[in-house]
Amino acid sequence: MRKISVYVWMILTLICLAPSVQGQILNRVLDKTMNKVNNALEEKASDLIADLLARQLEKQIDHYWEELTREAVRQDSIDRAQQGDTSSVDPSEAVSRYLANMNRASDVPEEYVFNWKFDCLMGTGKEEDESVFYYSDDQPFFGIEQEDKGDVNLIVIDLGKNIMVMFKEDKKGEKTAQALPNMMNYAGKVAEQTMDSVMANYHIRKGNKQKNIAGYSCQQYIAEDDEHDYDIYVTPELKNIWKETYGSFMQRFTSLDYQNEFNKVEGMVMESTTTAKKNKKDVNTFRVTKVNHQDTKIQKSDYSFPAQ
């Protein structure tokens, strides 16, 4: 199946549903917060980071999910055998039970306070999806929010506590949440194995254009790798947000060479256009439409977490 990832960072577009579909949820988390999986897209590509890492991470993420499923089924089979249950194991149910045992609700702080709200559009050129990104001035966590058929889904990636928290408010106002270990660490390890070879053909330089995006003066940067060309606009006025959030996030995913190369970009990415070299019609876009410097609080007590 051809899919499109929605950023996160995007990452993002996550649903906190019943345990029976937790496997699908985590799969979407991995897709939407990190990559543009399978190059062809069921929902939409998101930000620069997703664009730059997607192709390198796709196979490893798929492999990781296969391994997680295999381990979940193995453990479930052992548990059933000990109970004298010889019935067949349903992989999705096994993964759900496996993830339930990874419940990290106790690590979720009483509240998350975000100081910045970014309204964004992500698309392929033909259609666009709306997302909201939340950032902190000085804390190592960020959030991505999307609406889906009246439900509001928010994922928070907390680098300090090494967890991912998925919050959901459905159309009836019911609030549920799920906290899991930060699976992005695995992606970081596998990414390091491929980034050195990728960096040999990755280049970025400052362009000659400037423009105003969502009230911020932005500088153009031009980048390319073997498969894609990138046209990026960055505002130095918000560079501290980038440093505190994506900076520490990206250190887990990239080689030192990549970090040194990307340090040429001074500020927050406000717009990016990614074009495939082999197919100029394969275009993915990310654009910030509005920025609000306001506090948004997510209270843990407002949400129902699975019992531990």
Assign 302 a pLDDT band (cuts: 50, 70, 90).
Answer: very high
276-294 residue pLDDT tens: 889 888 888 889 999 999 9
Assign 2 a pLDDT band (cuts: 50, 70, 90).
Answer: very low
298 vs 142, residue with greater confidence: 298
pLDDT value, residue 242 = 63
pLDDT value, residue 220 = 94
9 vs 302, residue with greater confidence: 302
Assign 303 a pLDDT band (cuts: 50, 70, 90).
Answer: very high
142-197 residue pLDDT tens: 898 988 888 999 989 888 888 889 899 999 999 999 888 765 555 555 555 555 55
pLDDT value, residue 86 = 52
CA dist 240 and 247 (Å) reads 9
8-37 residue pLDDT tens: 333 333 322 223 233 333 344 344 444 443
Q: What percent of the chain has pLDDT over 90?
A: 22
Within a 10 A sphere around the Cβ of 157, how many other Cβ atoms?
25
pLDDT value, residue 292 = 96
Assign 238 a pLDDT band (cuts: 50, 70, 90).
Answer: confident
The answer, yes or no, to whether residue 219 has pLDDT greater than 60, is: yes
- Average pLDDT of span 53-69: 48
Bin 11: left if φ > 0, else alpha if -120 < ψ < 50, else beta. left
- Average pLDDT of span 47-70: 47
pLDDT value, residue 284 = 86
Determine contact, residues 38/58, Cβ cutoff 8 Å. Answer: yes
Within a 10 A sphere around the Cβ of 175, how many other Cβ atoms?
16
Q: What percent of the chain has pLDDT over 70?
A: 52
